[in-house]
Amino acid sequence: MSQVNQSRAYFLALLTVLFWSTVATAFKIALRNLNSIQLLLIANSTSFLIYSLILLLRNKKTSIIPISRKEIALSAFQGFLNPFGYYLVLFRAYSILPAQIAQPVNFIWPVVLMLLSAPLLKQPIRLTGLLALFISFAGVLILSSQGNIRHFRVNEPAGIALAFSSSVIWSLFWILNLRDKRDDLIKLFMSSFFSLILIFILAFATGNLTATGTRPLLAAIYIGIFEMGITFVIWLKALQLSESTVKISNLVYLTPFISLIFIHSILKEKLYFTSVIGLCLIIAGIMIQHIKNDPV
């Protein structure tokens, strides 16, 4: 692996982290005038167009149509989980919670993935995994106090539950995706296609096909491009170029911290000290689970 390729991998990975760091702010801007259904309809449509264009440019259009009913059913279920289910729940959480709370709680998904991998992938839970679980959930509890740690209570429990539920949905999607050996771009295109059908039906049934406001519309398109669309392609390219996926994957942990800068400077949210402490605990828990030891 050449040094040039590794440098390109770092550049693309950091570019991805930068894009992902901005989307929590974009969520809140879009949700000022759009509901979750309208936002997903616009963002999903945008990402679907992006995947279609990339496939055409890469001349993979002959591989788009699955060759079996099983693959069609798999793509439909993947699309139901993500983008459809995942983002509907996540956007609803953001509509309830401050961005500085919703983003870190959603980021707990690697620990949730470890828990779900035990029954679904028959992977044993290790002692470090249990410790990671305890530390990360302690971080969520501190986050949910929203600065009122002395007289502790969970503020906006419904929002916390939704943000956590989104991490469960994402983990289930990730496990399903691991078992699917098709081309990653094809999988992204197909899940986006079936999700678009579902969100269109839901928007039609609930009278949410129209949206108003230039700024929220642009924010929704931005989300479709840089959260649900091209950023995944850039990230996959970074992983392909890197000599080690670990070197690249660890950069993702910068995302929630950089995100706080955008949240504070653009949304003008007053950052709670508990947000920083809780986020640090969540990241610490995620990193601890990678320590190797014997299963319990």
Q: Using N-to-C axis directions, what is the helix angle for 86-96 and 3-30, rounded to 10°?
A: 60
pLDDT of residue 114: 80
In a domain, 296, yes or no: no
| Distance separating alpha carbons of residues 42 and 36, to the nearest angstrom | 10
In a domain, 190, yes or no: yes
Give the three-state DSSP class for 295: strand
In a domain, 295, yes or no: no
pLDDT of residue 152: 58
> The pTM is what?
0.89
**Could you read off the pLDDT of 232-262 as tens digits, one per residue?**
889 888 878 877 676 677 788 888 899 999 9
Query: For the chain, how many structural domains are there in total?
Result: 1
- DSSP one-letter string for 232-291: HHHHHHHHHH-S-HHHHHGGGGGHHHHHHHHHHHHS-PPPPHHHHHHHHHHHHHHHHTTS
In a domain, 136, yes or no: yes
**Could you read off the pLDDT of 184-214 as tens digits, one per residue?**
888 899 999 999 999 999 999 999 988 777 8
Hey, what are 72's tokens? Answer: 């069609």
In a domain, 239, yes or no: yes
Which residues lie below 8 Å from residue 69, measured CB to CB, with a gap of 6+? none
Are 125 and 182 contacting, i.e. CB atoms less than 8 angstroms apart?
no
Closest of 18, 19, 40, 16 to residue 30, by C-alpha:
40
pLDDT of residue 192: 96
In a domain, 294, yes or no: no
How many angstroms from the chain centroid is the CA of residue 58?
25
In a domain, 293, yes or no: no
**Could you read off the pLDDT of 18-56 as tens digits, one per residue?**
999 999 999 999 999 999 999 999 999 999 999 999 888
| Distance separating alpha carbons of residues 280 and 296, to the nearest angstrom | 26
**Could you read off the pLDDT of 107-155 as tens digits, one per residue?**
888 888 888 887 877 777 778 878 888 888 888 888 877 667 665 566 7
Give the three-state DSSP class for 34: coil
**Could you read off the pLDDT of 267-293 as tens digits, one per residue?**
999 888 888 888 898 888 888 876 665
pLDDT score of 167 more than 90: yes
Long-range contacts of 251-254 (CB under 8 A, 24+ apart): 251/10, 251/13, 251/14, 251/17, 252/17, 252/20, 253/283, 253/286, 253/287, 254/17, 254/21
Its domain, for residue 45, covers 3-288
pLDDT of residue 154: 67
